Amino acid sequence: GGSLLGLVLSRLGLVALAQLVEDKFRYDWSNMGVMPEELVLVGLAIFVGLIAAAIPGISAVRIDTSRTLSEAQ
């Protein structure tokens, strides 16, 4: 969700920037498609997020809930 929104917002920013900069610098902004490197970055970000979520999840699964609750009293 957030990755897609970020890609869309970045393209909108490029369109706005292209209108301002194209005349001054004579730079061609016609290729605004998604680059393969961007897809790799999105995949890596998802992978890192899954690992970051799994580490505390694994720790939570190992906790003996009944023992922890009985010690709390």
pTM of the entire structure? 0.64
Both tokens of 2, joined, read 């957030």
What are the angstrom distances between the C-alpha of 3 and each of 7, 16, 24, 71? 6, 20, 31, 43
Give Cβ neighbours of residue 43 (< 8 Å, ≥ 6 apart): none
Alpha helices in 26-63 (DSSP H): 36-61
Contact 14, 28 (CB under 8 A): no
Contact 39, 7 (CB under 8 A): no
Backbone angles phi, psi at 63, to 5 degrees: -75, 130
Domain limits, the chain: 1-32, 34-73
Predicted confidence (pLDDT) per residue in 7-58, tens digit: 889 888 888 888 788 777 777 777 778 889 989 999 999 999 999 999 999 9
